Each structure stands twice: as structure tokens, then as C-alpha cells.
Structure 1
Amino acid sequence: MLVVTPDLVIHSANPAAESMLGRSAKRLAGRDLTSVLDFSEPHVAEHLRRNSEQLLARGVPMRLGDRAVLVNLTVSPVPTHPGWRVVTLSDAGQGERFGNEERRVSLRGPAVLAHEIKNPLAAIRGAAQLVARQLDEGKRDLTNLITDEVDRIAQLIDRMQRLGREKPEPVAPLNLHAAIHRAVDTVQAASGMKLAVREEFDPSLPPVMANEGALVQVLINLLSNARDACAGQAQPQVVIRTRFVAGLVMNVFRLGRPVKLPIEVQVSDNGPGIDPAVEQHIFEPFVSSKPNGQGLGLALVQKLVRDMDGRISHERDTAGGWTHFRIHLPMARQGD
């Protein structure tokens, strides 16, 4: 984000602008905006010089040094300072090419909406950063709050976009227990504390057919939820079990043929359980029993599991005081 005077002279720039343009805020200050932003389409620069009204443009070609990029451009007037404007740039490339080749853009509705939300979010975050530079260290609580909340909303949008992806990730044979250990290590590193997980593994399990990244993400979500759920217990316990369920085989259909799901992973905790009011809807988007939950974690988990031809279920053992999440996955075929 750049703040410019009525004469299009750069007054200040936030850290993201420094990174994008490869120059410090001090070097950018005092420069003519159109000499810094090399727009491939002359009418964009001409519009900036002649018109101080708001401008919104997506997929604008621009050069950054010897690199051609596409940017989303937002120009907003500053109501308290006539003629002054805030210029926001964000990368709109998404792998598109332009020049002599025809530009191909295939954004679906949710993706377009996500872009339109992220643009003003970037402006808000950049404005907060610029305001923070004018404040003493002890007075930056509110600007820090603004940037933190903007980041939280942006992360929420990212998760919504992942939830809307239609093309599943490719699957391959992998060691289930190696994926579990990777997920446990990640949760421990992120929380900064030792996660006491009791492992009850079947060492004879064959490889599963799954996507490693997706499976690790699923396990991270379930382990994090289990850790949080039992955190208030006198003796918090998280148990992860694996087994081959030869007598209890779930089936899904792939290309018209049934696929058996004999490999089970169970993540359990001794917390109080899920609120009965939402228990039947926990895999739906925006449903959460956590006070500050976004309600996208388990919806994403279900999508990732289904993309691997697997199934996930939830059960509350009221008598024993345990909550169980069970994942059933296909076994890798011999020769895969």
C-alpha cells in the first residue's frame, strides 16, 4: 500500500509495498508514482493523473524490474485530505500469462468473492501499519489488533477457498504411522508444549492409499481438537489407535466399483464432549462448539477424507467419558 499526494508523489509505503517493489519506504518517498509503477497499459497511469476518484481494477499488467506481473489495483481517496489517495496493489497472477498470449482467466464465483474481500483487507492492514509507524510503542495496541484481526479474516477466507476446491489431491501408497508421527510432531511444535498422546498401533498394517499432505492435515486438526477438548481435565488424555477392521468393512463407490475401507484410525480424548446442540452438524461449515471457533476445521477434514475415498465418523462414549473420531481409509493394492 502506498499513500500519495494530489500530485501523485509517494508520501509513505507499508512493508508489503517495500517487499513487492524491492525498495525501502525511504527510497520510495518523494518519487512520482507513475515512475515507480510501470503499467503496461498507458491509460491506467493517465487515469491516475486526471482522476482522483476511486478506482478498482483487477488483472492489470505491470512490470516490476524485468518481471511482468498481473496486479489488482485499488485507488481510494482520503476524505480528510482532498486529493490524497491510498493505492493498494496485490498479486493477481495466479499463474496467468499475458503479452502475446491470450490471457485465460477462469475464476469461479467464490474465488472472485475471495479476491474482492482480500483487496480491501490488504488496504486496511496496510493503513494500520502506516498509522503504527506514527505512534509510540506503547500506543500500538489498537493498530496491532487491526492487523491481527485482518490476518484472521484472511486465513478464514483461505480455508473457505480450500473447502471449495473441486479437484482432489492425488493419492499414493504411504505408511500410516509415519503420517501420524509427523502430525503429532507438528501439533507439539505449534503448541510449544508436550502433547501426551498414547499410541495403540497395529504394527502389521499395510500401506494405505491416501495423499500424505492431506492425511497429515486431517490428523493435525483432529489431534489439535482433542488436545483442546481435554485441556481442562485433571488428567488430560489423547489416544490414537490404528487397526485393521476385517469384520467391519465400509464401502464407497469409485468409478462404479465398490472400494473397501478396512484401515481405521481413531483419535480419542477424555474431554467433556461436543455440545449436544451441534453434535449432529459438526461436519457442516460454520458449525463449532468452541467459543472462538470458525467452524471450518471439521468441514475441511471431512472433505479431505472424502477426497481420498475415505470416511470419517464421530461417536461419544458417555459411560466411559470418551469422544472418538474414526477415519476409515482404503488399503493400497499390491503393485501400487
Structure 2
Amino acid sequence: MVLDPQLRVVEVNPAAEDLIGRSAKRLVGETLFDLLDLTGSGIERRLDREHAQLIARGVSIGIAGQERRVNLTVSPLSTHPGWRVVTLTDAGQEDMAGDTGPDVSLKAPAILAHEIKNPLAAIRGAGQLIARKLEPGDRGLTQVISDEVDRIARLIDRMQELGSNTREPVGPVNLHESVRKAIATVRAGAGANVAFSEEFDPSLPPVLANRDMLEQVLINLLTNAVDACGEGEAPSISVRTRFVSGLAANVLRLGTAVRLPIEVSVADSGPGLDPTLADHVFEPFVTSKKNGQGLGLPLVKKMVGDMGGRVSYRRDQRAGLTIFKVHLAVSEPRQEAGDD
């Protein structure tokens, strides 16, 4: 929220509307104290210092008659004396700093994402405020600010997905239905010159997966394949499914190693990754794309791992193919004692 010197709301974004439970039309013109009950938080008296930045983490305040634990930041706008940008986030969803589990490398981007959010909101608010003061023909640079903030926000969303501890439920999923839906989605946005081919084993049983996550994994891999080969001559992408015996994951379920006999692979005719990046392809921020974020493949690895599967990469120089393989478990009804 952007506040004027009297602490009246001038601008709000959709996130503020959702958190406070009112539309922008009803929020604009209200004072901060009309919207938030800051009694006992110690924040109210600190707001008297209009040039100071205020950061309060895990503070309890009243919003719409309910007590909420939030992270609150108040940042002064140096270009407009007395004006401030207020950001609020739900502290209950972002308490990750003490996590030192095995996936700490994935938690770090999410923690960083939280720290970026507050100044990012201030930048957006300042840009919106400046735009209101300019003639329409002079708002080009403020639009650049808005566009870049949106781009960073999308990056932050993906970073937070990497740090999420939430695991979606898994169950029987028809692999070929998910593959075909993913191909249709990616093909619609790919160039007409990109050739897609399929080689399916129709006898494969349902896999143990989450349908939405599996389709997102496939969309990410196919999109990467399009990006990798789309500019070359006769670009082609092939998707293959098959049964592979003897492959077991380093995952235990009920004390037994889970076998991953179902394989789906995505191969593209692109030039492949920089060899120096091959061993780090699933790490955050590793990318060979000019405008890449380096988060797509780490997210693929996380989602596949959450489904109890495994993902791998290799470059077949002889065939000129880059290949990503996903291995998943078979979804089978559990056998009861005495069953044949």
C-alpha cells in the first residue's frame, strides 16, 4: 500500500486487497489505523518518525477483526517527503529460517525470495505513484519499472516453489494422457518448424504420481527442449515411454527400496548444454540460456522427487541428442497378507 503524509491509502495492489479483505475502491482514502489494529504491537509510535524505515517480523496485529501474525515493512519514498510504502506478508507461511534439512540448497532461494519481496513492493508502489504525476506520454520509463518488477515477481514465485515443504498427494495416473496433454500445451506455443514425435509403450500400467505435478514436469522439459532446438535446422523433439527393469531409487517406502520401472524421456536435437554445466544442471540458477532464470530444472527435480521418482540428464553426442529421463514407480494396489 502507498500512504500519503497523513497515512491515508493512495494505492493498493491485489495482494493487499486479498490480505485485508476489501477492494481497492474501499481501501483508498482510509487511514492505516482504520485498516490495521496496531494496539500493543509497538508499531504505532514508530510511525511518527516519517523518514525512518520500519521492519517488524512476526508481529501480531488486527486485520478485519482477526488477529494475524505478519511481517510488516514501512519504507519512506525519498522523492515524496512524508509518503510511504507499506508491505504486509503472512508470517505463518514463511517461517523457514531454522530449517537445516537435506534440501537446504532449495530452501535458500525461498528465504532469499522473502527478503526480496518487501523492497520489490516498495519499488512497484513508487513507480505507480510517479506514473500518476506524469503526462501519459512521459510514462514509458515507469512502465519499464512495472514490467521489470513483474518479471522479478515471477522469478520469486518460482524460488518459493523450490522452498516449499508441501507435498501433493500421489495416486494412479495414466502416463500417456499426461504426456499428450503436455505436448499439446507446448506445441501450441512452439514454432511450426518444430517436429514432435511420440513412441509409447501402450502396455504400461498407471504410474504413482500427482497428475498436475507430472504434467508440469513434462511441460517444463518440453519447453526447455523447444528453447534448445527451436533455432536450429530441422528442430525435432521426441517423447518416449518404456518399461525398464532393475532400476531402483534411493527412496524407501515401508522399509523397502522403491523400484522405478516406468521411464518417460524427452529428447531434442539442440546443441546441448555447455559441458561445464552438465554436472550442475539441476542446481538453482544454473543456465546456459541468455535470458534464463535457472529454476526450471531444479523445480523439475523437486517435483519428481516429491512423487518418489528420479530425473536424469545425458548428452548423446553421436546421435546429436539431449535427453532428459524421468523414472517413476508403478501404482499397484497393496497386497494384503494371504493374497495371491
**Interval containing the TM-score (normalised by the shorter chain):** 0.7 to 0.9
Give the distance between the partners of 2:238 and 2:137, measured in 1 at CA: 44
Q: Secondary structure at the match of 1:252?
A: strand
Task: Show the counterpart of 1:249.
Answer: 247
1:202 is aligned to 2:191: no
Deviation, structure 1 residue 167: 5.2
Task: Show the counterpart of 1:28.
Answer: 28
Task: Show the counterpart of 1:279.
Answer: 278
Of all paired residues, the percent bearing the same amino acid is: 48
Deviation, structure 1 residue 28: 2.6
Q: Is the 8 A contact 1:4 1:87 kept in 2?
A: no
- State the Cα deviation string for residues 189-215 of structure 1 (Å, max 9, x = none): 5x3766742111111110111122221
Distance 1:220 1:142, change over 3 A: same
Q: Is the 8 A contact 1:176 1:207 kept in 2?
A: yes
Task: Show the counterpart of 1:2.
Answer: 2
- State the Cα deviation string for residues 139-167 of structure 1 (Å, max 9, x = none): 33322222222222233233223223345
Matched to 2:199, the amino acid is E
Deviation, structure 1 residue 51: 5.9
Deviation, structure 1 residue 23: 4.8
Deviation, structure 1 residue 251: 4.0
Distance 1:265 1:17, change over 3 A: closer
Structure 2 matches for 1:231-250, cutoff 5 A?
Answer: 231-246=230-245, 249-250=247-248
Give the distance between the partners of 1:112 and 1:298, measured in 2 at CA: 19
Q: Secondary structure at the match of 1:115?
A: helix
Q: Is the 8 A contact 2:41 2:60 kept in 1?
A: no
Task: Show the counterpart of 1:322.
Answer: 321
Q: Secondary structure at the match of 1:224?
A: helix
Distance 1:263 1:60, change over 3 A: same
Give the distance between the partners of 1:296 and 1:150, measured in 2 at CA: 18
- State the Cα deviation string for residues 26-51 of structure 1 (Å, max 9, x = none): 9734x544234443547433432466
CA RMSD of aligned residues (A): 3.0
Give the distance between the partners of 1:313 and 1:267, measured in 2 at CA: 11
TM-score (norm 2): 0.82
1:108 is aligned to 2:97: yes
- State the Cα deviation string for residues 87-130 of structure 1 (Å, max 9, x = none): 313231546xxxxxxxxx84335455432321111111121122
Matched to 1:118, the amino acid is K
Q: Secondary structure at the match of 1:284?
A: coil
Task: Show the counterpart of 2:308.
Answer: 309
Q: Secondary structure at the match of 1:181?
A: helix
Distance 1:92 1:298, change over 3 A: same
Matched to 2:270, the amino acid is G
Distance 1:203 1:119, change over 3 A: same
Deviation, structure 1 residue 302: 1.7
Q: Secondary structure at the match of 2:276?
A: coil
Give the distance between the partners of 2:92 and 2:53, measured in 1 at CA: 25
TM-score (norm 1): 0.82
Give the distance between the partners of 1:186 and 1:36, measured in 2 at CA: 43
Distance 1:137 1:197, change over 3 A: farther
Structure 2 matches for 1:1-336, cutoff 5 A?
Answer: 1-5=1-5, 8-10=6-8, 12-16=10-14, 19-20=17-18, 22-24=22-24, 28-29=28-29, 31-41=30-40, 43-49=42-48, 52-66=51-65, 68-82=67-81, 84-92=82-90, 94=92, 106-108=95-97, 110=108, 113-166=112-165, 168-188=167-187, 191=189, 196-246=195-245, 249-255=247-253, 256-335=255-334
Q: Is the 8 A contact 2:170 2:307 kept in 1?
A: yes
- State the Cα deviation string for residues 70-98 of structure 1 (Å, max 9, x = none): 4432222333554x031313231546xxx
Matched to 1:252, the amino acid is N
Alignment length (residue pairs)? 321
Matched to 1:114, the amino acid is A
Give the distance between the partners of 1:165 and 1:11, measured in 2 at CA: 33
